[in-house]
Amino acid sequence: MLTDRFIKSTKPKEKERFYSDYDGLYLRVGPINKGGGKTWRFRFKNTSKSLGKYPEVELAEVRDLVRKIRKQLAKGLDPFQKKHKELEVASDFIEPYAKLKGLDLKSKEIQTVTRNINYLINELGDRPPHDYSKIEINSFVSARLLDVSTGSIRRELNSICAVFNLVYEEHEIDHFHRFRKIHIPREGEDKVERDDFTPDQLEVIREIIKGSENKVEQIIGLLIDTGMRSSEAVGLASADVHLGRIPHIVLHKNTFRRLKTKNSQRKIPLVGSSLDAANNLDLKDEWVFSNYIHNIDSANASVNNRLKRILGPESPTSHSFRHTLATRLRSVECPEYMRKELGGWASSVSEMYGTPTDITSKAEYIEKSLDWVTEIL
């Protein structure tokens, strides 16, 4: 058994020496040509682990540590099991968040999270989340207001807060961050309502893209009479497109496309321009739009640019197809629940949801709306 006097008097020699204490603890004295340092070692499962240097860690301290290790081993716990990566600053939280969510670091959701956290870092520096004060976060909001709308800032804050909340909870981090319930001055007052497409505009678009093999125009065709979001259309797998007796699309999350909400998973009938576009798709590959699958934002930009070339610079955006379809369906007295199901705005309340009869009924309402005419006041 070692004593403090013995440890202090021990001198390094040409070769390293080991002096045993008990319970697997021993002192290693390095060779003189390498400094002769004294370190504590603990034998564990045919290997040894360092417990610190002497005299920084004294004999009484290291014995106490060994007792604690032995208690953990008796309970079947591995005290040397690798812990989570140390989460020191905001950027460290992205990778564990992706792992907890089961997402690839290249996925759209994680790219969005990374972008939003980078906005924060660029303004306030890369620091522990709990280190940002409420005053600093409010200054970050003020800075972002110079570039984006209040709605965009709210989405960014919600994204940042979700990352910190989940990782703090699952990694048992006891600190408190201040990204909850952030006030945004005049929130919502700058919201700009999207314009619907007019019947004349839809007629022009339909005529130009009819029978097109151009990928961007095919995306437009799919959007016109389905109410899909651009990301939903661009993320289609060939297996999602069914062109049999009752043509329809099955929307569900996949590797590249995570649906906005659980209600977004749905079956959509194909009629009108959307059916025409679907009939001209190349479904030989796994993904319908493989050239855009890794960059859905680029596809959306291409669609909006094409719409501006067709209708002019004041053209509504691709997202307006969804709102326009909702307006069209109301005009033909399509039931509200059915409109919500088609757009993925609410879960089904129909016992027939997703059945051939249900899809056919929805197709009939969309077909009625193809000749939609409204008077612009």
- CATH number, domain of 56, equals 3.30.160.390
Shared-domain flag, residues 39 and 123: no
Q: Is residue 314 part of a domain?
A: yes
Answer with the one of 50, 74, 98 that is the final residue of a domain. Answer: 74
Given a contact cutoff of 8 angstroms between Cβ atoms, the answer to whether 182 and 220 are in contact is: no
Shared-domain flag, residues 269 and 314: yes
Answer with the one of 153, 170, 187 that is the final residue of a domain. Answer: 170
Query: 43: helix, coil or strand?
Result: strand
Q: Is residue 284 part of a domain?
A: yes
Answer with the one of 20, 40, 74 that is the final residue of a domain. Answer: 74
DSSP state of 34: G
Q: For all residues of the chain together, what is the average pLDDT?
A: 87
- Residues (pLDDT < 70) of the chain are 80-85, 192-194, 254-264, 345-357, 374-377
pTM of the model: 0.57
State the virtual CA torsion across 333, 337, 339, 342 in degrees, nearest 10.
Answer: -140
Shared-domain flag, residues 10 and 67: yes
At 365, list the tokens. Answer: 């309402």
Q: Is residue 354 part of a domain?
A: yes
Query: 275: helix, coil or strand?
Result: helix
Q: Is residue 186 part of a domain?
A: no
Q: Please give the backbone phi and psi of residue 25, each rounded to the nearest 5 degrees, phi first.
A: -90, 135
Shared-domain flag, residues 226 and 310: yes
pLDDT (0 to 100) of residue 192: 67
Q: From CA 153, how far away is CA 118, in angstroms rounded? A: 13
Q: Is residue 323 part of a domain?
A: yes
Which residues have CB under 8 Å from 230's CB, separation 6+?
219, 223, 296, 299, 300, 303, 318, 319
| Domain membership of residue 132 as a residue range | 90-170
- CATH number of domain containing 247: 1.10.443
Shared-domain flag, residues 248 and 317: yes
pLDDT (0 to 100) of residue 83: 52
At 75, list the tokens. Answer: 């309970």
Given a contact cutoff of 8 angstroms between Cβ atoms, the answer to whether 22 and 3 are in contact is: no
Shared-domain flag, residues 211 and 263: yes
Position 271, amino acid: V
Strand partners, 53: 39
- CATH number of domain containing 102: 1.10.150
Domain total in the chain: 3
Q: Is residue 118 part of a domain?
A: yes
Shared-domain flag, residues 95 and 69: no
Q: What is the arrangement of strands in the sheet containing 38-44, beginning at the earlier edge strand?
A: 17-20, 25-29, 38-44, 47-54
Shared-domain flag, residues 302 and 352: yes
pLDDT (0 to 100) of residue 376: 43
DSSP state of 93: G
Position 76, amino acid: G
Shared-domain flag, residues 207 and 336: yes
Shared-domain flag, residues 25 and 54: yes
At 246, list the tokens. Answer: 């009752």
Strand partners, 246: none
For the stretch 168-179, pLDDT in tens is 999 888 788 999
Q: What is the DSSP string of 197-217?
A: PPHHHHHHHHHHHTT---HHH
Shared-domain flag, residues 96 and 228: no
pLDDT (0 to 100) of residue 280: 96
pLDDT (0 to 100) of residue 85: 57
Q: Is residue 206 part of a domain?
A: yes
For the stretch 235-258, pLDDT in tens is 899 999 999 899 999 987 766 555
pLDDT (0 to 100) of residue 348: 46
Shared-domain flag, residues 338 and 363: yes
Q: Is residue 121 part of a domain?
A: yes
Strand partners, 54: 38
